[in-house]
Structure 1
Amino acid sequence: MGSSIPQAAMHNVFVYGSLLADDVVRVLLHRVPRSSPAVLRDFHRFSIKGRVYPAILPIEAKEVVGKVLLDITPFELEILDYFEDDEYERKTVDVYLMDTSEKMQVDTYVWCNKSDPNLYGEWDFEEWKRLHKEDFIKMSMGFMEELQLPESKPRVATYESFYQQKDDRTSMA
Structure 2
Amino acid sequence: MADRTHTAFFYGTLMAPEVFFTVCYRFSKEEISLLKSLHEFQPALLHGYCRRRVKYADYPGIFPDNDHEVRGMYVTGLTDANMDKLDLFEGSEYERRTVKVRLLSKTGDDKGHGNVEGEEVECEVYVYNNRKNLENREWDFKEFREQKMKNWTREDYGFDDTGAFSSNSEGGAGVCKSTSAEPTGSVS
The verdict on a shared fold, with TM-score over 0.5 as the criterion, is yes
What one-letter code is carried by the residue in structure 2 that aligns with 1:103? E
1:49-102 Cα shifts (integer Å, max 9, x gaps): 100100001111211000111010011100000000000000001100012611
- Greater helix proportion: 1
What one-letter code is carried by the residue in structure 2 that aligns with 1:74? D
Q: CA RMSD in A?
A: 1.8
Q: Which has the higher contact order (CA 8 A, sep 6+)?
A: 2
Q: Which has the larger radius of gyration?
A: 1
Q: Does structure 2 retain, via aligned residues, the 8 Å contact 1:48–1:120?
A: no
Alignment of 1:130-141 (within 5 A): 130-137=146-153
Separation in 2 of the partners of 1:98 and 1:5? 30
Separation in 2 of the partners of 1:130 and 1:44? 23
Q: 1:84 to 1:120 in 2, by over 3 A?
A: same
**Structure-2-length-normalised TM-score:** 0.66
1:104 aligned to 2:121? yes
What residue in structure 1 maps to residue 167 of structure 2?
Answer: none
Separation in 1 of the partners of 2:8 and 2:64? 17
Report deviation, 1:117. Answer: 4.3
Report deviation, 1:35. Answer: 1.6
1:123 pairs, out of 139, 149, 154, with 139
1:54 aligned to 2:49? no
What residue in structure 1 maps to residue 47 of structure 2?
Answer: 41
What residue in structure 1 maps to residue 157 of structure 2?
Answer: none
Q: Secondary structure at the match of 1:61?
A: strand
1:22 pairs, out of 3, 17, 22, with 17
What one-letter code is carried by the residue in structure 1 that aligns with 2:118? S
Q: Secondary structure at the match of 1:41?
A: strand
Percentage of matched positions with identical amino acids: 31
What residue in structure 1 maps to residue 166 of structure 2?
Answer: none
Report deviation, 1:120. Answer: 2.1
1:113 aligned to 2:130? yes
Segments of 5+ residues of structure 1 without an aligned counterpart are 139-173
Q: Does structure 1 retain, via aligned residues, the 8 Å contact 2:61–2:134?
A: no
Separation in 1 of the partners of 2:6 and 2:102? 16
What residue in structure 2 maps to residue 161 of structure 1?
Answer: none
Q: Secondary structure at the match of 1:58?
A: strand
Report deviation, 1:39. Answer: 0.2
Separation in 2 of the partners of 1:91 and 1:72? 15
What residue in structure 1 maps to residue 100 of structure 2?
Answer: 94
Q: 1:88 to 1:5 in 2, by over 3 A?
A: same
Aligned residues: 133
Q: Secondary structure at the match of 2:130?
A: coil
Separation in 2 of the partners of 1:108 and 1:118? 17
**Structure-1-length-normalised TM-score:** 0.72
Q: Does structure 1 retain, via aligned residues, the 8 Å contact 2:10–2:125?
A: yes
Segments of 5+ residues of structure 2 without an aligned counterpart are 26-34, 106-116, 155-188
